[in-house]
Structure 1
Amino acid sequence: MTHKVAYFCAEFGIDEALPIYSGGLGVLAGDHIKAANDLDLPLIGVGIFYSRGYFQQRIREDGVQEHMHPALDTSKLPIELVTGLDGLPLIIEVPIAGRRVCLKAWRTDVGKIPVYLLNSDVEPNSEYDRRLTDTLYASDPDIRISQEMILGIGGVRLLNALGIVPDVWHMNEGHSAFLTLERIRGYSAEGVPFDTALEAVRACTIFTTHTPVPAGHDTFPIAMMDRFFGDYYWQLGADREKILALGRIGDRFNMTRLAVSASSKVNGVSKLHAEVTKGLFHQWMPHIPQADIAVDAVTNGIHIGTWLSSGMKELFDRHLRSDWDTNTSEPGTWAPVRDIPEEQVWNTHLQAKESMLQELGLPSNLKNMLTIGFARRFATYKRALLAFQDLDRLDKIVNDPHQPVCFVFSGKAHPADGPGQSLIRSIVEIAKQERFRNRIFVVENYDIGRAKKLVQGVDVWLNTPEKPMEASGTSGQKAAVNGVINLSVRDGWWDEGYNGRNGWAIDGAQSGDSEERFRSDSSTLYRLLEKEIVPLFYRRDDRAVPAGWVGRMKESICSLAPVYNTHRMVSEYWNRLYVPIMERGQRFTAAGLEIAGKVAAYKAFIRNHWQQVTVQDLQMSSFQATKIGLTKTLIQAKVHLGPIWVKDVCVEAVGSDGKGGIRKVELAKKKELDKGLYVYEGELLESIDALWKSTANVRVTPISRDFSHDFEMELAAWG
């Protein structure tokens, strides 16, 4: 197979047997690869093989999280060493802080999709360098930047050594963004000027960002960049400042900024996350309105075949069309779920619940008790303690003699995240209180295997992030396809998925400080449990089946499964991003990079003369235009372009639409007053409101049919 799309990610959660993932990002990457295999799409994965994986978690009696990093036995893992034509291990080198670090590569196959995993435990290396790829997300910044150089620079060199030339380079989060510098270096070695190389690289690169929290984006001090890249800068064909400018934010080098600077397409992982990301990027380019910042949205999904319980699969096999598992994105595939007898749906769920209780060592009497699951990384913004705001009220809910409730918590906190670890201690302490014994449980060492049991076996899936800090989230999607009902803050994917009938929403208070929003959301959570969720669960018909509850389970499956799956997600990536970027990359690199060179030269000309672009005047006049009372507003401005051609700019009147967005009116050149000075005019044949008129300004932006979007140069001149 010709590998057309190279998919780089710092972690891959393919299976619990290969523990080189920490959480959602890696599991999503694994599901992405599996869906590409299902759809027979030509992807190749590139990551890191962590010799000791992510840490194994033990929770002590006092709630303290202990971290263990046992070495992985490669002989027992589904991987094989990559060898060269001579049959010996293939070794590549990466320059790190003035020294050469040797890397070997392991390969694991997901069906027809190969995933290559780099590792520095190679004999020629020093002991320190051999340990660089031991653990995932090391807190030591020197190791962190080294790992990202190994992933980005090493990943490109590995593909080169294997003779693989991707048409699309997909950076899944910013950890791999150094790959763009290595690809520029490759062009530079062939004599290609830096700016042309950058355009060629940008043309076939996309970037998916997953982090709405500014602190979640990797940054390194400029001095550290100099130390690690000092003997690398000169190989790129540009001076140090020009290279650092690709990622510089203040006095630090930002990996997300680098990824944006060197990509044609950027996407968030939910519609809401795309808007939050625009707000984050707006801080970097304040002269461009947030609404105009080019961030697409491809909402995450899950690989249904991985996360569906065996019982549910058998149920679907009996009642859905025979090819349902290859047509998961079609709503009609799931419609027959509504006709499955309630007893069958309920009994299948109880079987999954019983399996979960046995596997996780939980009491068997929970089978008939409303069980709520909360399992994810323990980070403060996920607000694991939302259910514990009022312990007396919680006591009444969980210990109702006729309608008892229990909670199951699981998850890891990063070894360097003290506040996250304190959340675990707090929950353990509460669980040890006499009134919460056998009502609150903590399952240690959360991984894919335990996650499967939880999303298949609990009755309700709880998610309580502080809105809008959850980029997407996918655990609730895994629960939904198993008939587990979501109870979640309307953040990430749930903001799109909730329809009022397929679960419950904590709307998420938007006013007040964090503590006030915490109290408000906690109160909403209690109210939903008391008034809606608990009564519905325990309302049984004469068959001892909670028919109303099962109805909501069916609605959840039918409305969510066809949308929030990776077959839909990867198809969307393919059609909206991969194929257009393939075509763009081929066009830019054809004929000796002719288009890339022309675009580089064009941009250089625009930048060199942009300071001469000014808007000198803006006038608006309104008058009645027709007998039926329509109002025509004439907008006129004088614009000085200097030597820049009129067809190389777009001139618009831009104002607020009153809904948080903008409304634009394009202006056309009417006449030239002097050399480089023009009159532009436009009109609106409708009444304009006072807000638009009071906020309207004229904006000039450089344009080209070769740009991936209108603001590729991140330039705008305002009146």
Structure 2
Amino acid sequence: MSIPKTSPLADFDLSNRTIAYFSMEIALSPQIPTYSGGLGMLAGDTLRSAADTSAPMIAISLVYRRGYFRQQLNDVGQQTEADVPWSPEDLPSAGPTVTLVLQDRQVQLRAWRYDVTGTTGHIVPVFLLDSDIEGNDPWDRKLTDHLYGGDTYYRLCQEAILGLGGIALLQALRVRPEVYHMNEGHASLLTLGLLEEHLGSRPLSEATDADREAIRRQCVFTTHTPVPAGHDQFGVDQMNQVLGPNRGAAIEAAGGLHNGLLNMTYLALCLSRYVNGVAMQHGKVSQYMFPEYKVHSITNGVHAATWMSPAFQELFDSEIPDWRTDNRYFRSIYGIDPARISACHVKSKQRLFAWLARRTGHYFNPSVLTLGFARRVATYKRAGLLLQDPERLCSLAEKIGGLQILYAGKAHPADNAAKALIRDVFAAAVKLNSEFLKIYYIENYDWELGALLTQGVDVWVNTPRRPYEASGTSGMKAALNGVPSLSILDGWWIEGHAENTTGWAIENGETEETEANNLYNKLEKVIAPFWANPNAWARLQQHCIGINGTFFNTQRMLGQYFSNAYFPSGPSRFQQERLADSEEEFGLSETAFVPVNKA
């Protein structure tokens, strides 16, 4: 594993870190398996943009010594899983260890530091909590081994490590953030840690509404899913067993129980002053789900420099050199000849196909229209909708001169229905592959494959069952690379869709058969004619970047978090100090909105 160079912790002034970002998973590097999918990718992209814009952030997650899993698929698409072990000892230690009490036993925690470094050299340190310490109970040493592993007891212990252990680590590092951002409900026990810190020597039983309000003023919560399984719940007996009855009573007093269960989403909702969904539509859906709380919307984005193909990066470095520090410059793509944009995509497509040939031994034709469908496998994402009518699909492929469909995605190890969907795609491929139609499922969807696919396919397909797509960021990555989407109008696509300009909508239908027919009609009667006109297609690629790339990026998203969620009433303590320094040195009376770029 290649570990980036890091500075000694003593070189950091952590006192100016005003935002603490907590996330159960963070995609930090392709070589470090601390993520499973979209939630972790979003967290990593957020921190990369925070580093690019010199934002005063610090982040907390878990180390996951054995990763999520590597997906292995046999000839019929049966998924098996293998660990992805790595050595966090190659990273620098955070220094102090902290103690967390779980089920009346002490668990020692240490942390490893990964530095997310921005384009100007600013660093956002990420601390990965680790329970594998000599002296801990052998079972406790494995608590930070697997992301989303084990049973509910294991999961609750992990979430206690993230929330309570994370607060203890910040205290040990003498970091005093003004804002604590919970990226999904997994982190909501941090509110309990803050309450304990706020009370000092007073017992939790003495906490008042005023005490809880003091915690609420510090906390921001982002919910990411309208799917019930995405909201962690634990039995009250288990809550008391793991956390202790005093903490359990404090959670109940704060409103963290729902329908007789510890509900991590409700705990975060009760103790946050700002709550948001991750797209405009998702904000509305979440408001309907939680009507007693005000739910805002901040639409997700992606980190442009991470997901843009080498060919496009080279073009933009030449023609729009400031795009890395200010993604709004993507709008300037309208000053570039569309033919040059199309040429960049051709290079990306050839790169994808060369990689596939090396890895799989399968060869694909760069001149044939190629669709991409890659995401976490879940039943509501409906991977089979594209294959709903095999005869129609085969006829369509022949009529338009050929069609290639690339699938990828992992099913959770315990999700047998999702695993069956993968086998269904394999079976369809065996039955339908012909001279004109080629369907292939690529094993082990990960960071590298996700980048290659979103950069190299011609159309990105998304077919969720409404309204279960909270946002979706893979289509945003595709748009950054001039790839239009063909998608159900849900999640981010409601905002990004401009028919025949940034892609196409699959019209809603009362049945899946109707929606599949709408998809086929759009492919045959609209998309194929576009594809047959290279000039029109190049202009479409230009619009994807100029319209959607300009907006659906984490620079814009992070700016909205700062102005709407973190510091809606004006500059933070850190901003005020920087403003005072600027006034003294330069005689300035105003300053630019933070985050800012440092030269």
Alignment TM-score, normalising by the size of structure 1: 0.74
Q: What is the letter of the counterpart of residue 338 of structure 1?
A: Y
Q: State yes or no: 1:227 paired with 2:241.
A: yes
Change (3 A) 1:536 1:414: same
The alpha carbon displacement at 1:30 in A equals: 0.2
Partner residue of 1:704? none
- How many Å separate the matches in 2 of 1:138 and 1:325? 37
The alpha carbon displacement at 1:358 in A equals: 1.5
- How many Å separate the matches in 2 of 1:16 and 1:495? 30
The alpha carbon displacement at 1:315 in A equals: 1.5
Partner residue of 1:308? 308
Q: Runs of 5+ in structure 2 lacking a partner?
A: 1-12, 118-122, 575-599
Q: What is the letter of the counterpart of residue 265 of structure 1?
A: Y
Q: State yes or no: 1:80 paired with 2:92.
A: yes
| 8 Å Cα contact 1:91-1:104 kept in structure 2 | yes
Q: State yes or no: 1:272 paired with 2:281.
A: yes
The alpha carbon displacement at 1:507 in A equals: 3.2
Q: State yes or no: 1:334 paired with 2:330.
A: yes
Change (3 A) 1:342 1:508: same
SS of alignment partner, residue 368 of structure 1: coil
SS of alignment partner, residue 113 of structure 1: strand
Q: State yes or no: 1:552 paired with 2:540.
A: yes
Q: What is the letter of the counterpart of residue 360 of structure 1?
A: L
After superposition, give the CA deviation of every residue in 1:295-317 in whole Å (9 maximum; x if it has no partner).
11100001001000110111122
- How many Å separate the matches in 1 of 2:113 and 2:250? 37
- How many Å separate the matches in 2 of 1:107 and 1:435? 48
Query: Alignment partner for residue 143 of structure 2, among 104, 117, 132?
Result: 132
SS of alignment partner, residue 407 of structure 1: strand
- How many Å separate the matches in 2 of 1:365 and 1:296? 44
The alpha carbon displacement at 1:346 in A equals: 1.8
| 8 Å Cα contact 2:251-2:267 kept in structure 1 | no
Partner residue of 2:65? 51
Bigger mean CA offset, 499-508 vs 40-49? 499-508
Partner residue of 2:109? 103
Q: State yes or no: 1:483 paired with 2:482.
A: yes
Change (3 A) 1:387 1:157: same
Q: State yes or no: 1:525 paired with 2:515.
A: no
| 8 Å Cα contact 1:408-1:442 kept in structure 2 | yes
Change (3 A) 1:436 1:306: same
Partner residue of 1:359? 355
- Choose between structure 1 and 2: higher strand proportion: 1
Bigger mean CA offset, 353-362 vs 494-503? 353-362
The alpha carbon displacement at 1:17 in A equals: 1.3
- How many Å separate the matches in 1 of 2:430 and 2:251? 58
Q: How does 1:302-701 map to 2 (within 5 A)?
A: 302-320=302-320, 322-328=321-327, 330=328, 333-361=329-357, 363-400=362-399, 403-433=401-431, 435-436=433-434, 439-500=438-499, 501-509=501-509, 512=510, 516=511, 518-539=512-533, 546-580=534-568
SS of alignment partner, residue 55 of structure 2: coil
Q: What is the letter of the counterpart of residue 441 of structure 2?
A: V
SS of alignment partner, residue 561 of structure 1: helix
Partner residue of 1:194? 207
Change (3 A) 1:584 1:121: same
Partner residue of 1:116? 127
- How many Å separate the matches in 1 of 2:569 and 2:30? 33
- How many Å separate the matches in 2 of 1:142 and 1:441? 38
Q: What is the letter of the counterpart of residue 243 of structure 2?
A: F
SS of alignment partner, residue 550 of structure 2: coil
SS of alignment partner, residue 370 of structure 2: strand
Q: What is the letter of the counterpart of residue 116 of structure 1?
A: F
Report which of the two structures shows the higher radius of gyration computed on alpha carbons.
1
RMSD over aligned Cα, in angstroms? 1.9
SS of alignment partner, residue 485 of structure 2: strand
- How many Å separate the matches in 1 of 2:423 and 2:46? 34
Change (3 A) 1:315 1:205: same
After superposition, give the CA deviation of every residue in 1:324-343 in whole Å (9 maximum; x if it has no partner).
22221x3xx23442342333
- How many Å separate the matches in 2 of 1:428 and 1:583? 55
Query: Alignment partner for residue 41 of structure 1, among 55, 61, 83?
Result: 55
The alpha carbon displacement at 1:188 in A equals: 2.2
The alpha carbon displacement at 1:199 in A equals: 1.3
Partner residue of 2:578? none
Corresponding residue pairs, total = 547
After superposition, give the CA deviation of every residue in 1:593-637 in whole Å (9 maximum; x if it has no partner).
xxxxxxxxxxxxxxxxxxxxxxxxxxxxxxxxxxxxxxxxxxxxx
- How many Å separate the matches in 1 of 2:539 and 2:395? 27
| 8 Å Cα contact 1:466-1:508 kept in structure 2 | no
SS of alignment partner, residue 487 of structure 2: strand
| 8 Å Cα contact 2:278-2:298 kept in structure 1 | yes
The alpha carbon displacement at 1:538 in A equals: 2.4
Partner residue of 1:71? 85
| 8 Å Cα contact 2:224-2:278 kept in structure 1 | yes
- How many Å separate the matches in 2 of 1:389 and 1:244? 50
- How many Å separate the matches in 1 of 2:519 and 2:67? 36
The alpha carbon displacement at 1:354 in A equals: 0.8
The alpha carbon displacement at 1:582 in A equals: 8.2
Q: How does 1:2-41 map to 2 (within 5 A)?
A: 2-41=16-55
After superposition, give the CA deviation of every residue in 1:486-536 in whole Å (9 maximum; x if it has no partner).
111111111011122211011333xx4xxx2x2222111100011011222
Change (3 A) 1:242 1:310: closer
SS of alignment partner, residue 127 of structure 1: coil
SS of alignment partner, residue 122 of structure 1: coil
The alpha carbon displacement at 1:246 in A equals: 1.8
Change (3 A) 1:232 1:108: farther
Q: Runs of 5+ in structure 1 lacking a partner?
A: 84-89, 234-238, 286-292, 540-545, 587-719
Alignment TM-score, normalising by the size of structure 2: 0.88
Partner residue of 1:145? 156
The alpha carbon displacement at 1:139 in A equals: 4.3
SS of alignment partner, residue 15 of structure 1: coil
- How many Å separate the matches in 1 of 2:166 and 2:26? 14
Q: Percent identity?
A: 39
- How many Å separate the matches in 2 of 1:230 and 1:556? 52
The alpha carbon displacement at 1:232 in A equals: 4.4
Partner residue of 1:706? none
- How many Å separate the matches in 1 of 2:83 and 2:135? 24
The alpha carbon displacement at 1:431 in A equals: 1.1
- How many Å separate the matches in 1 of 2:240 and 2:524? 58
Change (3 A) 1:65 1:34: same
After superposition, give the CA deviation of every residue in 1:645-687 in whole Å (9 maximum; x if it has no partner).
xxxxxxxxxxxxxxxxxxxxxxxxxxxxxxxxxxxxxxxxxxx
The alpha carbon displacement at 1:190 in A equals: 3.6
- How many Å separate the matches in 1 of 2:277 and 2:159? 21
SS of alignment partner, residue 480 of structure 1: helix
| 8 Å Cα contact 1:7-1:46 kept in structure 2 | yes
